[in-house]
Structures are given as C-alpha cells and as structure tokens.
C-alpha cells in the first residue's frame, strides 16, 4: 500500500488552502446538522401532542403520553412547580408538617383534600411528586378505564397507606422503603358510583370487565409512576398496587 503523502509539500499555500476548506466544510456541516435538529423540533412542537414532548408544560388535562413520567418527575423535584401544577388542575391540598424519626424523613409533603376521587383513609400524607403522579393517574388512567370498561366513574380509592416508617417488606434491616419517605401509596380497591368495590385481591384474575379494568390501571400506572408493582410481581403484592415516585424504574 502506498504511503500517504502530504499534498504539495513544496507549495505550503496549497496545503493551507486545503486545511481551510476542510474547516469550512466541517463548520457548514455542523450548522446544517443543528439547522435540521431545529427544523425537526419545530415540526414536532406543532405536530406532536404535548404529552409526548418533554419540553412541553405538564398539565393534569393532557392524556398520559411518552413524556408524562419524565415531566412528572421533573415537576415533582421543584416544590413550587409541583404545587402549581396541582392547583392549576383543580387539586386542593393541605400542607403536611415535615418530620424525621430514625431512618424515616418526611419533607415537602401534603394531603390531597379534593379534586379527585377521595382516598380512603383520607389522611394520607405524601410528597408532592407522589401526589402529582397520583392525580395524573386518577384523572387520565383510572377514570378513563372505569368509563371504558365499567361505564361509570370511580368515586373512591381505598389504600393501605402512604407514609410508614419501615424498611422494604417490614424487615429489620435492608433497604428503606419509599413509604418511609412518604413517597409511595399502596392502592387496594376502587369504589364505583353504583356502590360496587373492585378489589385487587379478589378481582385481579377476573376474566371480565373488573379484571380488564385492574390491568388497564396497572399498565397506565407504569407510564406515570417510577415504580409500579402489582400481583404479577410477587405474593407480597397480591392485594395491592404499590405506586411510588422514588424507587428504580420498574413495572411488574
């Protein structure tokens, strides 16, 4: 193979011109690349619904989309922004006092008082980002699935608690549960307008509308919460959905 030769070594002005052309070509290519990116973003901003675009403002009105989880986590990291989204969406809440005990610390917590299907028990303190994800899920997933599968609204959500100062599965040692940070909730059942109760424990394996509803709300939760665990995960979750905004991304 012939060795590479510097063009016209005896004519430095030609080599200098060649280097300048190379730099110009690279600069033009760089500018064209960013121009293309800008055009694509411009088109996407107008053609793609906001719930799929991470730079669009998060609202409780938008259906759940590809960017909902990212936007909820981002808004939840800013206490003021998180509360602003809740308030703009008609969610009313009271502030919960910060407190710390052992390995359990609760800060930036609140209690939802109205604007969505009531939680039972009502006194559920949770971080704002958890409350935000819960409100999105209730509005855009739970109610949508209830009307689609059951032809009526959900008027109450039963749960086993949000804050609990404990480690995962209540063990004496090991990883601290997201419940210890008020960053999770365990949903057990849904109360319908006609008085019917749909239970995760009793109806998860139902082959009719109740089972379809539960699977739809679980699948929808995976698009909103960072961690969603259901009876499909293990026997410890046979009677509830664990929904949190602080653990590792997982849907099961």
Per-residue model confidence as pLDDT tens digits over 11-42: 566 656 656 766 665 666 666 565 555 545 45
Helix ranges restricted to H, 4-106: 12-47, 68-76, 79-88
d(CA 18, CA 12): 10
pLDDT in the model for residue 41: 44
CA distances from 210 to 45, 112, 132 (A): 38, 26, 26
35 CB burial (10 A radius; 0-12, 13-18, 19+): exposed
d(CA 173, CA 212): 37
pTM: 0.81
Helix, coil or strand: residue 190: strand
Element (H, E) at 188: strand 184-192
Ranges under pLDDT 70 in the chain: 1-19, 21-47
- Please tell me the CATH code under which domain 64-251 is placed: 3.30.1380
pLDDT in the model for residue 252: 96
pLDDT in the model for residue 241: 98
pLDDT in the model for residue 171: 86
- Tens-digit pLDDT profile for residues 59-100: 999 999 999 999 999 998 999 999 999 999 999 999 999 989
């Amino acid at each position: 193979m012939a060795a590479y030769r510097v063009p016209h070594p005896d004519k430095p002005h030609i080599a200098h011109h060649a280097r300048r052309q190379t730099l110009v070509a690279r600069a033009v290519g760089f500018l064209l690349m960013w121009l293309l990116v800008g055009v694509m973003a411009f088109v996407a901003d107008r053609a793609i619904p906001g719930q799929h675009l991470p730079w669009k403002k998060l609202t409780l009105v938008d259906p759940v989309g590809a960017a909902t989880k990212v936007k909820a986590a981002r808004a939840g990291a800013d206490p003021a922004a998180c509360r602003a989204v809740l308030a703009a969406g008609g969610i009313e809440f009271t502030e919960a006092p910060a407190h710390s005990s052992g390995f359990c610390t609760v800060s930036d917590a609140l209690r939802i008082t109205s604007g969505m299907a009531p939680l039972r028990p009502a006194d559920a303190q949770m971080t704002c980002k958890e409350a935000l994800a819960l409100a999105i899920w209730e509005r855009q997933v739970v109610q949508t699935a209830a009307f689609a599968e059951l032809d009526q609204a959900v008027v109450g959500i039963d749960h086993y608690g949000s804050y609990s100062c404990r480690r995962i599965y209540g063990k004496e040692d090991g990883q601290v549960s997201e419940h210890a940070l008020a960053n999770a909730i365990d949903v057990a059942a849904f109360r319908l307008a006609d008085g019917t109760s749909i239970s995760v424990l009793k109806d998860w394996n139902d082959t009719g509308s109740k089972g379809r509803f539960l699977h739809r709300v679980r699948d929808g939760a995976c698009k909103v919460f960072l961690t969603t665990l259901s009876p499909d995960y293990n026997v410890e979750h046979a009677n509830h959905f664990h929904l949190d905004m602080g653990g590792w991304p997982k849907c099961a």
